[in-house]
Structure 1
Amino acid sequence: MRPESVREKDDPLAIVLKAAKLGELNRPLTWPTMALVINGRSLARPVTGVERYARMMIAIAAKEWPDCKIAVPSSMKTSTKAFGCEVIRIPGNGGHAWEQVLLPKALSKNDVLLSPANTGPLRVRRQAVVVHDLAVIHHPEWFDRRFAMWYRFLLPRLVHRVDRVISVSQTSLTDIQRTLGVPLEKSSVVHPYSMIEPGVVTNAGIGSPYYLIVGSLDPRKGIDSAMAWYASLDRPAFKLVQVGRTSTSFASNVVPPVPGVIRLDEVNDEHLSALYHGALALIQLSQFEGFGLPILEAMQHGCPVVASDLQVFRELFGDAPIFVDPTDHARMNEATQELSQPAQREERVGAGRIRATHFSEARMTEELHVVLDPLLGC
Structure 2
Amino acid sequence: MIVVDTRWSGRNGIGRYAKEVTERLALDWQEIEQSGSPSSPLDFVTKSLKIEGDKPRAVYSPGYNGFLRSVPQTITLHDLIHLEGPGSAKYRPYYDFFLKPLIKKNGHVLTVSETSKRHLENWIDDSDVRVVNAGNGSSAAFAHAGEAFESSRPYFLYVGNLKSHKNVETVVAAIAQMGEFDFYVVTSEKNALEALSEKYGVTDRVRLFSNIDDTRLAQLYRGARATVQPSLLEGFGLPALEAALCGCPVVFFDGCESVKEICAGGGRAVSDSADVREWVEVMSDIPAGERFPAHVITAEQYSWDRVALSVSNLLVEQHLA
Distance 1:255 1:358 in 2: 36
RMSD: 3.1
Q: How many residues align?
A: 310
Counterpart code for 1:368: V
Structure 1 residue aligned with 2:11: 47
Post-superposition offset of 1:175? 0.9
* Conserved? CA contact 2:170–2:276, under 8 Å: no
* Conserved? CA contact 2:59–2:73, under 8 Å: yes
- Structure 2 residue ranges without an equivalent (≥5): none
* Conserved? CA contact 1:104–1:124, under 8 Å: no
Counterpart code for 2:181: F
The aligned runs of 1:142-221 (5 Å cut-off) are: 142=87, 146=90, 150=94, 153-183=97-127, 185-195=129-139, 197-198=141-142, 202=147, 204=149, 206-221=151-166
Secondary structure, aligned partner of 1:119: coil
Structure 1 residue aligned with 2:196: 255
Give the one of 8, 18, 21 matched to 1:57.
21
Post-superposition offset of 1:211? 0.6
Structure 1 pair 317–184 and aligned structure 2 pair: CA distance change class (3 A): farther
Counterpart code for 1:54: A
Identity between Structure 1 and Structure 2 (%): 24
Counterpart code for 2:141: E
* Conserved? CA contact 2:111–2:117, under 8 Å: yes
* Conserved? CA contact 2:171–2:276, under 8 Å: no
The aligned runs of 1:88-103 (5 Å cut-off) are: 92-94=35-37, 100=45, 101-103=47-49
- Structure 1 residue ranges without an equivalent (≥5): 1-34, 74-91
Secondary structure, aligned partner of 2:109: strand
The aligned runs of 1:28-43 (5 Å cut-off) are: 35-43=1-9
Post-superposition offset of 1:176? 1.3
Structure 1 pair 152–278 and aligned structure 2 pair: CA distance change class (3 A): farther
Counterpart code for 1:37: V
Structure 2 residue aligned with 1:367: 310
Structure 2 residue aligned with 1:239: 182
- 1:336 equivalenced with 2:283 (yes/no): yes
Give the one of 9, 32, 40 matched to 1:71.
32
Structure 1 pair 153–292 and aligned structure 2 pair: CA distance change class (3 A): same
Distance 1:106 1:205 in 2: 51
Structure 1 pair 229–319 and aligned structure 2 pair: CA distance change class (3 A): same
Counterpart code for 1:277: R
Post-superposition offset of 1:376? 3.3
Secondary structure, aligned partner of 1:282: strand
* Conserved? CA contact 2:72–2:319, under 8 Å: no
Counterpart code for 1:222: N
* Conserved? CA contact 1:113–1:128, under 8 Å: yes
TM-score (norm 2): 0.83
Higher mean displacement: 99-108 or 283-292:
99-108
TM-score (norm 1): 0.72
Structure 1 pair 197–184 and aligned structure 2 pair: CA distance change class (3 A): farther
Secondary structure, aligned partner of 1:113: strand
Structure 1 pair 317–168 and aligned structure 2 pair: CA distance change class (3 A): same
Counterpart code for 1:333: V
Post-superposition offset of 1:197? 1.1
